[in-house]
A = this chain, B = another copy of it.
Amino acid sequence: MFNIAAVERDTGLSKDTLRVWERRYGFPTPMRDDNGDRAYPIEQVEKLRLIRRLLDMGKRPSKVVGASTEDLLREIDALQAPCETDIAEPEDDFLRLVRLHRSDELRSTLQQMLLKQGLQRFVSETVDRLNIAIGQSWMRGELDVSEEHLYSEQLQNVLRNAIGSHSSAGSRPRILLTTFPEEQHGLGLLMAEAMLVPEGACCISLGVQTPLADIRNAAIAGNFDIVALSFSGAYPARQAVEGLKQLRNLVPDGILLWAGGAALQGKQSRLEGIRVITSLQDAVTALGEWRTAHQS
């Protein structure tokens, strides 16, 4: 049983939204605890996550919030069919390791792939595909939370290790990486860093959850050229756009803002003065643009 704050954390849907959906569409239908507060059963939270997925894919709430779980799964399958071709064997083998909790082999497999492919290709191809495979498995209920955490931890170990062995002290541009306060997921930051560091950029990550004002202060105090923000799929797109505009006003024009991640798909138009990073490769492109503009 989850209270409304927990559901907000888990689904990325605001408390207000959850209450208004209940009123308008008749879903979710939480029980009540002794105190009269909403208590959401786990199945409803999972269904809400499905709905979230469909909304991100462009469906409208009125079409999906009332629907049955079966219909939702059908719709997701239908929309996923095109890009689903390619959960190839390597990913499948890998998922098996995750499901068996073979953490040592997990790590050494990742490490091996990294060595074979080099950091950038490893991240932009292998890790990118693995994340998708993991995400899909999770949606299908084939993985549980602990297995996803295990993967995430091992990947983090491998990436941090690899990034740490590049030394780019003193080089340019200086890039500050972080996320907004409500964002929990830091893997995107690490992946971005992994793409940029081999190009000779000087990346400094603050991890997740830095308040806007502190991002500003750090950007100025640390003499940064670029501030890069990451938004996971769970982050409300609207808040992301709003926050980015605000940050754009806070930091001096001389400092560029980059923003990337699943939450920003298709939002480029609304973001003036901000370079939206559309893919991991695009981060390298953006770095090239900066270099062209600043050769002197």
Residue numbers of A with Cβ under 8 A of B are 5-6, 9-12, 49, 101, 103-104, 107, 144-147, 149-150, 152-153, 156-157, 160-161, 163-164, 167, 169-170, 178, 180-182, 184, 204-207, 209-215, 217-218, 221-222, 239, 242-243, 246
Is B12 in contact with A181, judged by CB distance below 8 angstroms? yes
Q: Chain B contacts of A217 at CB under 8 A?
A: 144, 146
Is A207 in contact with B153, judged by CB distance below 8 angstroms? yes
Q: Which residue of B lies closest to A221 (CB)?
A: B101
Partner of A161, one of B9, B10, B164: B164
Is A215 in contact with B146, judged by CB distance below 8 angstroms? yes
Instruction: State A205–B161 Cα separation when bound (angstroms).
Output: 16
Is A160 in contact with B156, judged by CB distance below 8 angstroms? yes
* CB proximity of A284 to chain B, nearest CB, Å: 22
If A149-B178, A164-B157 touch, whether A169 touches B207 (CB-CB below 8 Å) is: no
Is B160 in contact with A5, judged by CB distance below 8 angstroms? no
Q: Chain B contacts of A160 at CB under 8 A?
A: 156-157, 160-161
A-B contact pairs, 8 of them (CB 8 A): A9-B182, A11-B211, A12-B181, A49-B213, A101-B204, A146-B214, A146-B218, A149-B209
Instruction: State A266–B63 Cα separation when bound (angstroms).
Output: 47
Q: Chain B contacts of A49 at CB under 8 A?
A: 213
Q: Chain B contacts of A104 at CB under 8 A?
A: 167, 169-170
* CB proximity of A279 to chain B, nearest CB, Å: 25
Instruction: State A10–B169 Cα separation when bound (angstroms).
Output: 31
Instruction: State A164–B155 Cα separation when bound (angstroms).
Output: 12
Is A146 in contact with B210, judged by CB distance below 8 angstroms? yes
Is B214 in contact with A145, judged by CB distance below 8 angstroms? yes
Partner of A212, one of B9, B150, B163, B222: B9
Q: Chain B contacts of A205 at CB under 8 A?
A: 153
Q: A9-B211, A149-B210 are in contact. List 9 more A-B contacts (CB 8 A).
A: A5-B242, A6-B246, A9-B212, A10-B212, A101-B222, A144-B217, A146-B214, A149-B178, A149-B206
If A153-B206, A207-B149 touch, whether A214 touches B12 (CB-CB below 8 Å) is: no
Q: Chain B contacts of A164 at CB under 8 A?
A: 107, 157, 161
If A160-B156, A218-B101 touch, whether A9 touches B206 (CB-CB below 8 Å) is: no
Instruction: State A218–B149 Cα separation when bound (angstroms).
Output: 10
Instruction: State A213–B49 Cα separation when bound (angstroms).
Output: 10
Q: Chain B contacts of A209 at CB under 8 A?
A: 149, 184
Is A145 in contact with B221, judged by CB distance below 8 angstroms? no
Instruction: State A183–B184 Cα separation when bound (angstroms).
Output: 12
* CB proximity of A244 to chain B, nearest CB, Å: 11
* CB proximity of A283 to chain B, nearest CB, Å: 19
If A12-B181, A104-B169, A212-B10 touch, whether A5 touches B153 (CB-CB below 8 Å) is: no
